[in-house]
Amino acid sequence: MRNDIERVLIDERVIGKRLDAMAADIERDFPGGTLVVIILLKGALVFAADLLRRVPRVLEIECLNVASYHGGLESTGQVDFLDRHFPEVRGRHVLLLDDILDTGRTLYAVSRRLREEGAAAVYTAVLLAKDKARAVAAAADYVGFVIGDEFVVGYGLDYQGRYRNLPYVGVLKGAVR
């Protein structure tokens, strides 16, 4: 797997240190009471597991399956909700976790749906944000790292379903794509 990676962009140790700081920010910012965390599958799985274990408060954890990329390199622009049931968020404070903010369509669509479902407040956290103009008005409240506009894999992010279990964020060799 390592042979398919052209370069490591963010290594495991750096990610861990940044997650310590993000968890401290989240812990400081939220008032008491149980926070509902919604993890966007599958990309945010690794990020969420490592971040949430650093947040020493009562959390309710839910997952949502959305499809926006369909395993390729380009965003299709459409965000599909794939679950039969939507988590109960009425009147709750919600923290939405995603792996990467790219065009912004995913965070925009899911945040809007959470508000439509009656969430009292919606906050967003992403591991990565690409340094580019968003296609829609979307921003994250918590950002791990700002990266260039290139396709990355690892630490939850995939190319055609693979590389999610790499412990770092890296760039694939051109020959692999």
Given candidates 10, 26, 102, 127, which one binds ligand XMP under the rule CB under 6 A?
A: 102
Given candidates 30, 86, 151, 162, which one binds ligand XMP under the rule CB under 6 A?
A: 151
Instruction: Determine the residue type at 21.
Output: A
Are 64 and 83 in contact by the 8 Å Cβ rule? The answer is: yes
Cβ proximity to ligand XMP: between 48 and 157 the closer is 157
Cβ proximity to ligand XMP: between 30 and 67 the closer is 67
Cβ proximity to ligand XMP: between 69 and 168 the closer is 69
**Cβ neighbours of residue 149 under 8 Å, at least 6 residues apart?**
130, 131, 132
Q: By rule CB under 6 A, what count of residues binds ligand XMP?
A: 18
Beta strands 59-67 and 35-41, pairing class: parallel
The yes or no reply on residue 106 touching ligand XMP (CB under 6 A) is yes
Tokens 């990610």: give the residue.
15
Cβ proximity to ligand XMP: between 50 and 98 the closer is 98
The yes or no reply on residue 105 touching ligand XMP (CB under 6 A) is yes
What are the helix (H) ranges across 30-128?
45-52, 105-116
The yes or no reply on residue 43 touching ligand XMP (CB under 6 A) is yes
The yes or no reply on residue 124 touching ligand XMP (CB under 6 A) is no
Beta strands 121-130 and 35-41, pairing class: unpaired
Positions annotated as catalytic residues are 102
User: How many Cα atoms are found within 13 Å in the side-chain-facing hemisphere of 94?
Assistant: 28
From 1-9, 47-55, 80-88, 152-160, give the range in contact with ligand XMP by CB under 6 A: 152-160
